[in-house]
Amino acid sequence: MKKKYVNLTISIIIFLFLFEILTHSSSIVETVYKSTSIWFYNIVPTILPIYIVVDLLLNYNAIYYLSKFFGKFMERFFKLKKETAFVFLLSIISGFPSNSKYLKNLLDDNVINQEEASKLLCMTHFSNPLFIIESIGVSFLHDKKIGLIILIAHYLTNVLIGFMNRNYYVNLNQEKNITQKKKKSFINSLTDSIYNTIKILFLLYGIITFFMIVTTIIRENLPFSNNIISILCGLLEMTQGIFYVNSLTIPITIKAILITFFISFGGLSIHMQVFSILKDYKLHYKDYFLARIIHGLIASSLVFLILYFM
């Protein structure tokens, strides 16, 4: 009976969305154009080459080499297997939702189990460094120094979360033996990498577009102030929230704090992107969600303190 009412509620909400799409078609179409532009000009250029290169690195034993040189740090500091250094280091470079793709590679190869993947997922929520410094610091806030402060607070908090969770899901005694054996020819590996990357990119495009439509409907229908609408949109879709906050007439310090929280929380759009890529595995979303809230609170507090005492 409970499931029946849940399905009915979801159906009603979907019908209301359909009504909004039909009655406000011009704003919805404009939103789809905007999401397409964000996807094509921001997501594709940063994710497409990185995903392809990472798949090629996997084919040529990148996990083996990275675990050999950086594995001890993961083992001693976070109590994770040496092989997880691969996910941690590449997530710093490429940003979310790339971390979920790298985790999926390790899960597919049985290098780590689902408990370890959940733990690692909580501490590899890194935003792309170029996005924070250039897009947010330079383009939005017009202060590269603030962008750098946001980057440092965002990254340090991820490391802190990993250290706080170091005693959860410890499984160091069952390491996977990574051998230096090439799995595929270069041509086959390249072809498979391109195909898999394109599938993921279109999945991300659909999720981004859906949540941007949701934020547009919220903005046009809820009788809240622009400040409240901006926060709601940021919790749903990070990019939209950052755009709306930047347009508010509030002090730049408040903008930096809110933007830091949005990046560290990620927005439900990012959450869905991550778990859509990992849909074949039952990871702990509750742990991930809680880690994102803690991440947002600590990182934004650090930004406030640094800017206050500067």
Q: What is the pLDDT of residues 8-36, one digit of tens each?
A: 777 887 887 788 778 877 888 898 998 89
Number of independent structural domains in the chain: 1
Task: Tell which wins on pLDDT, 255 or 94.
Answer: 255
| Residue ranges in 110-175 assigned as alpha helix (H) | 114-122, 129-130, 144-164
For the ranges 81-85, 185-189, 305-309, which has the lowest average pLDDT?
A: 185-189
Hey, CA dihedral for 223, 227, 230, 234, is it positive or negative?
negative
DSSP state at residue 84:
G
22 in any annotated domain = no
Hey, CA dihedral for 288, 293, 296, 302, is it positive or negative?
negative
Q: Among 236, 233, 234, which residue's Cα sits nearest to residue 271?
A: 236
Q: In the chain, what percentage of residues exceed pLDDT 70?
A: 93
8 in any annotated domain = no
Q: How many CA atoms lie within 13 A of 50 on its CB side?
A: 22
**Pairwise CA distance, residues 298 & 261, whole Å:** 9
Q: Among 61, 54, 64, 100, which residue's Cα sits nearest to residue 193?
A: 54
4 in any annotated domain = no
102 has pLDDT over 80? yes
14 in any annotated domain = no
Mean pLDDT comparison of 104-108, 125-129, 224-228, 262-266, highest-scoring range: 262-266
Report angle CA 292, 298, 303 to the nearest 5 degrees. Answer: 120
**Pairwise CA distance, residues 260 & 273, whole Å:** 20
For residue 63, the Cα-to-chain-centroid distance in whole angstroms is: 22
Residue 307: pLDDT band by 50, 70, 90 thresholds? very high
pLDDT confidence of residue 182: 54
Name the residue range of residue 245's domain: 31-309
Q: How many CA atoms lie within 13 A of 140 on its CB side?
A: 27
**The one-letter amino acid at 146:** I
**The one-letter amino acid at 99:** N
Residue 148: pLDDT band by 50, 70, 90 thresholds? very high
pTM: 0.84
pLDDT confidence of residue 221: 82
* Residues 68-77: contacts with CB under 8 Å, at least 24 apart: 75/172, 77/162, 77/163, 77/166
Q: What is the pLDDT of residues 195-223, one digit of tens each?
A: 888 888 888 898 889 888 888 888 888 88
253 Cβ partners below 8 Å, 6+ apart? Answer: 304, 307, 308
10 in any annotated domain = no
Backbone angles phi and psi of 5, in degrees to 5: -70, -35
184 in any annotated domain = yes
**Pairwise CA distance, residues 101 & 107, whole Å:** 10
Distances (CA, A) of 44 to 49, 114, 136, 207, 242: 8, 28, 18, 14, 20
**Pairwise CA distance, residues 307 & 122, whole Å:** 27
**Pairwise CA distance, residues 170 & 165, whole Å:** 10
Q: What is the pLDDT of residues 155-201, one digit of tens each?
A: 999 999 999 988 887 765 555 555 454 567 778 888 888 888 888 88
298 in any annotated domain = yes
**Pairwise CA distance, residues 52 & 196, whole Å:** 9
pLDDT confidence of residue 243: 85
**Pairwise CA distance, residues 95 & 93, whole Å:** 6
How far from each other are the two terminal CA atoms of the chain, in whole angstroms?
Answer: 58
15 in any annotated domain = no
Question: Angle of helix 238-246 relative to helix 267-277, nearest 10 degrees?
Answer: 160
pLDDT confidence of residue 146: 94
